[in-house]
A and B are shown apart, each in its own frame.
Chain A
Amino acid sequence: EPEVTQTPSHQVTQMGQEVILRCVPISNHLYFYWYRQILGQKVEFLVSFYNNEISEKSEIFDDQFSVERPDGSNFTLKIRSTKLEDSAMYFCASRFEAGDAAEAFFGQGTRLTVV
Chain B
Amino acid sequence: GQSLEQPSEVTAVEGAIVQINCTYQTSGFYGLSWYQQHDGGAPTFLSYNGLDGLEETGRFSSFLSRSDSYGYLLLQELQMKDSASYFCAVPKSGNTPLVFGKGTRLSVIA
Contacts and interface: CB of A to CB of B under 8 A. Distances in A.
Contacts, number: 69
Given A42-B102, A43-B87, A56-B92, A48 B50 contact: no
A83 B45 CA distance: 31
Contact of B96 (A91, A98, A109): A98
B71 interface: no
Nearest to B90: A102
B98 A104 contact: yes
Contacts of B99: 45
Interface in A37-87: 41-45, 48, 50, 55-56
Interface string B69-95: 000000000000000000101111011
Interface residues of A, number: 24
Interface of B: 30-31, 33, 35, 37, 41-45, 48, 50, 87, 89-92, 94-103
Interface of A: 31, 33, 41-45, 48, 50, 55-56, 91, 98-109
